[in-house]
Amino acid sequence: MSIEMDSTRILAVDDEENFLALLRRTLEKEGFEVNTALSGEEAVRLLEEGPFDLALIDIRMAPMDGFSLLEHIKRRNLDTKAIMITAYPSAQARLRSLQKKASAFLAKTVSLDELKRTIRQTLSK
């Protein structure tokens, strides 16, 4: 799959508005089309409305956590790739993310350059 930035759609899902705003600004500067959702439920609605190439999903959200959203994506056989992201990284969270077929796992403390690099690598798979 070639990465055409102007047509690549990313869904960023996090219950922290400031983090979502940072993701949107950063990724739009890279030429991505970015939609945001403040909850798993809102993300499900957006996923039903149209396809996304990639979802950046916070793990700790309520009532629907990031793992439940990832399961929804996989259960619906959506072609959306997923990168799990968390402020509370642990070996257990990383393992669970990969077991549930996430493409990557990142801590929120990751640099923006590393985030962009991981997104590009994930989209090129």
Where residue 106 sits, what CATH number does that domain have? 3.40.50.2300
- 78-118 pLDDT tens trace: 889 999 999 999 999 999 999 999 999 999 999 999 999 99
The residue count for the chain: 125
Range of the domain at 30: 5-124
Looking at the chain, the whole-number percentage of residues with pLDDT higher than 90 is 90
* Alpha-carbon radius of gyration of the chain: 13
pLDDT of 4 > 70? The answer is no
Provide the domain count of the chain. 1
pLDDT given for residue 50 in this prediction: 86
Kindly report the pTM of this predicted structure.
0.91
